[in-house]
Amino acid sequence: TFGFLVNWPPFDKDDPTRPSGPKVQNLCRRLGYLEDEAFGPFPGLSRASPLSISGPNGTVRGIRIAPGESKHRVLYLHGQGGNVGVLHRCWLYNLLVDDPLCCEVLAIDYCGCGYSDFCRPTEATAVADVLA
């Protein structure tokens, strides 16, 4: 299955420029995960805006990160676990958005993952989310 019961790391889905709150930061610090690429806190993305699309499985949510001038567009579909805010994914978004690539990045959580509406995720629902 692709579903993941823990929506980690928590962040404000309506303001992806803000990093995870102090409770999450402190928990990560205590556990030694402050810089951990899989379990670290959401760093906040200065050029990000929320993304919400209605599809056949409900609302698909994610983030849009745009450089000043984009040359290309990347639809980023993350793998199993967590949400669009996992630290190593944020590092990748920044690499894609910055010079020399200057890509606009659209990153979504499939239904049943992250902040998207819940459904029983399958290959068919993932394809439907992408086509929405």
The 10s digit of each residue's pLDDT in 60-119 is: 999 999 998 888 999 999 877 789 999 999 999 999 999 999 999 999 998 888 889 988
Average pLDDT over residues 24-41: 89
Residue 42: DSSP 8-state: P
Which residues face 48 on adjacent strands? 65
Give the pLDDT score at 106: 96
Give the pLDDT score at 96: 96
- Two tokens, residue 110: 């499939």
Q: Rounded to an integer, what is the distance from CA 67 to the centroid of its chain?
A: 17
Burial of 123: CB neighbours in 10 Å, binned 0-12, 13-18, 19+: exposed
For the cut 60, the answer to whether the pLDDT of residue 1 exceeds it is: no
